[in-house]
Structure 1
């Protein structure tokens, strides 16, 4: 349940209204100081999950199922002791099944992640993906300090995934590096051998390929490389996931999109991570980072090309603060969602909610008199996008990144879904 803070309300009055411990309400919603809440802020209100029910006079299985938001057949299946569903005994206790959809969740992590944050997050993950091994021009791979992340993941029953990118030594995604891999047999084999060696030596469960800004003419070459890599990984019992740019049609222009063949990649990969974020990006004009309307369009197209259960929908775990009016060439400041809420409180800002993108934002003036706008995520925007997972029966979610812990996000995710463990 979501509660939007109104003028005059306090965290304590809201907690009292829902009969919730105020300290627990604060913890769940990223609130460090219970006195610091902001008008327009959307709070996640956790409700207790009923696992059993004592039959009362006048009850039917249909009325009980409807009251608990579950299907009648699910309720009957959970109670095999009931021989005649039309005859209930007052006072008997029946089981209320947990019908939350089970999903997989991937989390990308920069190796510098705080160990406490990592430990807090692992219980919500299926896969942990340390970012990243970078391909060199000769097909060799850069080094990555990932041993602690791998051992932490395995100790928590989370599958570690090796991430391989075409990021150059200068720091950006480089289509020319990928082109060399695709078109030079020696370079390609060197890369595949290097991947297999690390996967085996470090006991990774699989590989994630995140090749971006590829040359448009490498579309078929990329598909061929993925098919060859998949065959090699199958031989050592490892999985393959592929990260793709978010597009809502096959022929979208631009080097970010053109070489990503959704249909072909969906046939090859075990999982496809669709990076449904960065509409509002650090060097672009202010807007929602992961707007519901745009994400929905991308996923609606994706499920026509890729089996829905293979799709992990991308979720951003950050906010952006822009100076306005926006000037091309300037950059936004990256914040956590918690920092965004704190900034709103400090500047006495009213948080607004855009109904098209289903995303919160607020404006404020800094000490130099410059106007700012901040777009971020809250319980309502996150919950809205989670509905897309259910709507299209997706396999799950993928977070960029988990290097900060957003308690509100994980509370609403775990309230909505059961998280699959594959180890």
Structure 2
């Protein structure tokens, strides 16, 4: 599998010819809605086994082999070149695929309203073969310890057909917002806590869930130790019931990080008690904030580097967004309408419709562009593409993390799933 960035003058035919594939294969792999109208700067996934490398000035068989982690003798053999030969600039070398490593994957699915939409069912069905867990978001904890489920129609059957374990996601959502007051009640009133844990275990066992996942956010900062105690208690009871336990963690870069989203999340204790954790490493760029990459790799790495000081690598799922945002400019804090969430596919359509080139921020490892709509209003778009997701996969492999967790299903990003299955073997929980 290879990533190619469209240049001026490129056509799907010339790209297909260069990489020994077909225009139809490129169209299908990238789900191109207008294959004859590529966007300059658009990243394409080339659906081939292995990849090709075109030599640059100063390259040798040895240096290219080092770049791709193979021996120069093997590189020479697969390309039928004598090992001592000098290779000319622009020569096409075939690079065989690297061995796959196992990966644990999760994706949250968030049904809204009273039913699961056909769009969400279809999205879930497409992703389920590539998932270890399907996180059903969310079962809402009540002030009396009750548990309110989301609509589920069809989701359990999709998971079962694909040998995807179901994750029971528990939240302190109330009235559509994370509630600090509700969280405090759950963490400090023992009778509520006991009732809630009874309801969780009954729901998880009857519904054949494998994992119970606590996503308690915006907790009062002085409830940190109460949350730790709750997790220890929950882990003991869930283990007795044969259930795994995981948690979602705000993206911290130090134990002393301040702010209501962060202070009650004790990385060290979660890493000790939970079977695994999800680092919510996204939303640097968010709907009510200034235009930014949603999950810039430089900021993501800072969070992971801190997490690894107190959490084993084999317990960490890296959080990853499956969407981008379209901001209206100029951005003014606390004024104007929020940015619109868009799929990576829609972002490319917008660039094409407005005849603008897609740029790539090397520091953030994220694509973006600016355009002016038909009403004369300027916009800035940041989204995900094959390059940005590859940066996250490279980080997972470099740091030997357990895997990746996606927020959330529903917006199309076919390149992600192609690259995921090309580089990893998806773990399935029996």
Q: TM-score range by the shorter chain?
A: 0.7 to 0.9
1:91 alignment partner in structure 2: none
Distance in structure 1 (CA, Å) of the matches to 2:221 and 2:67? 53
1:88 alignment partner in structure 2: none
Distance in structure 2 (CA, Å) of the matches to 1:66 and 1:332? 43
2:347 alignment partner in structure 1: 340
8 Å contact 2:287–2:339 — kept in the other structure? yes
Distance in structure 2 (CA, Å) of the matches to 1:389 and 1:68? 17
Aligned partner (choices 147, 155, 171) of residue 149 of structure 1: 155
Distance in structure 1 (CA, Å) of the matches to 2:352 and 2:316? 37
Aligned partner (choices 403, 411, 415) of residue 408 of structure 1: 415
1:312 partner SS: strand
Distance in structure 2 (CA, Å) of the matches to 1:97 and 1:318? 28
In the alignment, does 2:231 pair up with 1:226? Answer: yes
Query: How far did 1:68 drift?
Result: 8.0
2:178 partner SS: coil
In the alignment, does 2:268 pair up with 1:267? Answer: no
Aligned partner (choices 358, 367, 372) of residue 374 of structure 2: 367
8 Å contact 1:105–1:127 — kept in the other structure? yes
Aligned partner (choices 418, 425, 429) of residue 418 of structure 1: 425
Distance in structure 2 (CA, Å) of the matches to 1:389 and 1:26? 28
Q: Deviations over 1:346-372 (max 9, x none)?
A: 000110111110100001111221100
1:409 partner SS: helix
Query: How far did 1:12 drift?
Result: 1.7
Q: Deviations over 1:98-137 (max 9, x none)?
A: 6212110001012335322222111110000111011111
Q: Deviations over 1:57-88 (max 9, x none)?
A: xxxxx9xx98984589xxxxxxxxxxxxxxxx
Query: How far did 1:175 drift?
Result: 1.2
1:14 alignment partner in structure 2: 15
Aligned partner (choices 189, 197, 212) of residue 192 of structure 1: 197
In the alignment, does 2:290 pair up with 1:285? Answer: yes
Taking only aligned residues, the RMSD between alpha carbons, in angstroms, comes to 2.0
8 Å contact 2:344–2:412 — kept in the other structure? no
Distance in structure 2 (CA, Å) of the matches to 1:100 and 1:392? 15
In the alignment, does 2:261 pair up with 1:256? Answer: yes
Distance in structure 1 (CA, Å) of the matches to 2:153 and 2:353? 40
8 Å contact 1:248–1:297 — kept in the other structure? yes
Count of residue pairs brought into register by the alignment? 387
2:167 alignment partner in structure 1: 161
Q: Deviations over 1:274-301 (max 9, x none)?
A: 0100000000000000001000111111
8 Å contact 2:49–2:97 — kept in the other structure? no
Q: 1:363 to 1:195 in 2, by over 3 A?
A: same
Deviates more, 1:275-284 or 1:115-124: 115-124
8 Å contact 2:121–2:154 — kept in the other structure? no
Distance in structure 2 (CA, Å) of the matches to 1:156 and 1:235? 27
TM-score with structure 2 setting the length: 0.86
Q: 1:23 to 1:246 in 2, by over 3 A?
A: same
Q: Deviations over 1:312-370 (max 9, x none)?
A: 00010011000111022331011111000000000001101111101000011112211
Distance in structure 2 (CA, Å) of the matches to 1:98 and 1:327? 47
1:81 alignment partner in structure 2: none
8 Å contact 2:315–2:401 — kept in the other structure? yes
8 Å contact 1:30–1:406 — kept in the other structure? no
8 Å contact 2:358–2:367 — kept in the other structure? yes
Aligned partner (choices 237, 241, 262) of residue 236 of structure 1: 241
Give the gaps of 5 or more residues in structure 1: 51-61, 73-95
Distance in structure 2 (CA, Å) of the matches to 1:339 and 1:39? 15
In the alignment, does 2:39 pair up with 1:38? Answer: yes
Distance in structure 2 (CA, Å) of the matches to 1:127 and 1:70? 33
1:139 partner SS: coil
Query: How far did 1:33 drift?
Result: 1.8
2:238 partner SS: helix
Deviates more, 1:401-410 or 1:158-167: 401-410
In the alignment, does 2:220 pair up with 1:215? Answer: yes
8 Å contact 1:150–1:204 — kept in the other structure? no
Query: How far did 1:144 drift?
Result: 2.1
After the TM superposition, which segments of 4 or more aligned residues of structure 1 sit over 6 Å from their partners?
A: 65-68
8 Å contact 1:120–1:405 — kept in the other structure? no
2:148 partner SS: coil
TM-score with structure 1 setting the length: 0.88
Distance in structure 1 (CA, Å) of the matches to 2:176 and 2:71? 51
1:75 alignment partner in structure 2: none
In the alignment, does 2:319 pair up with 1:314? Answer: yes
Deviates more, 1:145-154 or 1:249-258: 145-154
Query: How far did 1:406 drift?
Result: 1.5
2:101 alignment partner in structure 1: 101
